[in-house]
Structure 1
Amino acid sequence: MLITVLFSILVSSVIATEKDIALPRLNNTKAAEAFIDSAEVVVIGFLEGEESHGYQELVAAAKRVDSVSVAICTVKEVWADYSVSSDTITLFRKADNHQENLDIAEAKKVEADGLVNFITINEVRYLTEYNQVTAVGLFNSEVKSHLLLFANRGTKQYTELQKKLRALAPEFTGKFLFVLINGAVKSNLRSLGYFGITSQDLPRVGIYDGLSDMKWLLPEGEISTERVQEFCQSFLRGELKEVKQAGAEPKTEL
């Protein structure tokens, strides 16, 4: 009797664990829309079911990238709403209203490591911290103008400005990507030098235009929401093209 009870408890525990790692299911377009709208970045596996090629790998990747919510949709009528016709893992992000598709229907091999890379590279947010991984997603975006916050992590200003610019970023969706560059990181010194500043000069705000390969710094002073807002607007109005550029001669990348 005791063995039976213990066996039942063990089986229940295994079932519970399996349920815990199961991905949420989106059964209609309304549910998919709500899920996509629930966060800055989400991933949906448009897969036929849990036996589909790539499902288990997606579950494993979701456990490793806990900053991004992941769900599954097996309803093909919903797939059509997102122009998906075969098994695809799709990342949705608000910062540039972008949908990044990874077609796995024809892939011979799908690995969790590859899916983790796909998610982390494309995890562009309203305020994205610049590093070697996020640089790929930032420069691959169709939005080529970047509002840059140069600040040293660990300072009071760093945290305050982070919150301030993250709150402002949605106003410029599709026009700017807001990027945070930590001046305390040695590998970012090249980016600072490109704008003619050092970590001792921070915090500063700049604009980099990938289309014209031009760059400008917000004049020194308080970094207020209003000043940054007007700085962005002046670029959009074309007024900065008459203003002297910051730092060194233009280059093709930060």
Structure 2
Amino acid sequence: MLIPLLLSLLVCSATCKDQDSALPRLADVKAAEAFIDSAEVVVVGFFEGEESHGFRELLAAAKLVDTVPVALCTDKEVWAELSISSDTVAVFRKADNHQENLVTANVKKLETDGLVNFITINEVRYITEYNQVTAVGLFNSEVKAHLLLFVNRGSEEYAELKERLEALAPEFTGKFLFVLINGALKSNSRSLGYFGLKPRELPRVGIYDGDSDMKWLLPEGEISTERVREFCQSFLKGDLKEVKQATAGAEAKTEL
């Protein structure tokens, strides 16, 4: 009985070590800055050691969110540089220059699923596809202006338009969040209705201002990089306030 138990513990220990070694260690400020700049969204686990609350759970979560790079950091100079004072899991994103911190001491029951949810909710990218999970991160952002691309997934223009706006989004970092709304999904009918749109009328581009709860549609026509850029700039200059808002359908609510 004792031998199988020891073997089990050894296997568990080896597995944890393998998971740990798979994640990069950020040994200094330069390494941390390079890692944070390496992708649109990254996660860093700031832990005192392997026995810290949430350490093992982050290792497991990292395997489940393989689209987001994850690293570990114990260096206190890095902690100070990034305003970390205790064990923390932090999400860094470029779309709005935001750092979202989860202080593990504040979470009594920290589980792998909870960390996966925390990362997924805060995975706001240069162009984020709208759904019930990403909506939380989008509306919690300090950036309240959203540039919306309404397009049906599977349509001829879907991939090209997504790529075009994804390339434009960095120009408006900290000013707009670029959001893709798949009009082919029934769950997004309310979002379309809020702008008075139907799936057959797509693709279209709109702006939603969360501060004023106002919305506008880019006039019909080619959705070119230049037209979308000018549309965004018009909003930032305040010119759209004089333009008629998009008309909401009867089913619309004051949220996307």
TM-score, L = length of structure 2: 0.91
Structure 1 spans left out of the alignment, 5+ residues? 1-10
Q: What is the RMSD of the two structures over their aligned residues, measured on CA atoms?
A: 1.8
Equivalence map 1:171-190=2 (5 Å): 171-190=171-190
Aligned length in residues: 243
Equivalence map 1:11-90=2 (5 Å): 18-19=17-18, 22=21, 23-90=23-90
- Given that 1:143 and 1:176 are in contact with CA atoms closer than 8 Å, whether structure 2 keeps it comes out as yes
- In the TM superposition, what is the alpha-carbon distance from 1:17 to its structure 2 partner? 8.3
Amino acid at match of 1:203: P
Amino acid at match of 2:254: T
Q: For each residue in 1:33-88, what CA deviation from the matched residue of structure 2 results, as whole angstroms up to 9, or x when unmatched?
A: 00000000000001012221111100111100111010000111210101111001
Counterpart of 1:156 in 2: which secondary structure? coil
Cα distance change, pair 109–20 in 1 and its aligned pair in 2 (3 A): closer
Amino acid at match of 1:154: G
For 1:142 and 1:37, the matched residues in 2 are separated by: 20
For 1:106 and 1:180, the matched residues in 2 are separated by: 33
Give the structure 2 partner of residue 238 of structure 1.
238
- Given that 2:44 and 2:90 are in contact with CA atoms closer than 8 Å, whether structure 1 keeps it comes out as yes
- Given that 1:146 and 1:207 are in contact with CA atoms closer than 8 Å, whether structure 2 keeps it comes out as yes
Structure 2 spans left out of the alignment, 5+ residues? 1-9
TM-score, L = length of structure 1: 0.92
- Given that 2:190 and 2:253 are in contact with CA atoms closer than 8 Å, whether structure 1 keeps it comes out as no
For 1:113 and 1:57, the matched residues in 2 are separated by: 8
Cα distance change, pair 224–88 in 1 and its aligned pair in 2 (3 A): same
- Given that 2:42 and 2:92 are in contact with CA atoms closer than 8 Å, whether structure 1 keeps it comes out as yes
For 1:41 and 1:107, the matched residues in 2 are separated by: 23
What is the percentage of aligned positions where both structures have the same residue? 75
Give the structure 1 partner of residue 140 of structure 2.
140
Instruction: Detail structure 1 runs of 4+ shifted over 4 Å in the superposition.
Output: 14-17
Give the structure 2 partner of residue 252 of structure 1.
254
- Quick check: 1:93 aligned with 2:64? no
Amino acid at match of 1:76: K
- Given that 1:213 and 1:251 are in contact with CA atoms closer than 8 Å, whether structure 2 keeps it comes out as no
Counterpart of 2:212 in 1: which secondary structure? coil
Amino acid at match of 1:100: E
For 2:167 and 2:106, the matched residues in 1 are separated by: 40
Cα distance change, pair 20–74 in 1 and its aligned pair in 2 (3 A): same
For 1:174 and 1:252, the matched residues in 2 are separated by: 23
Amino acid at match of 2:135: A
Counterpart of 1:197 in 2: which secondary structure? coil
Cα distance change, pair 202–106 in 1 and its aligned pair in 2 (3 A): closer
Amino acid at match of 2:31: A
- Given that 2:204 and 2:218 are in contact with CA atoms closer than 8 Å, whether structure 1 keeps it comes out as yes
Amino acid at match of 2:185: V
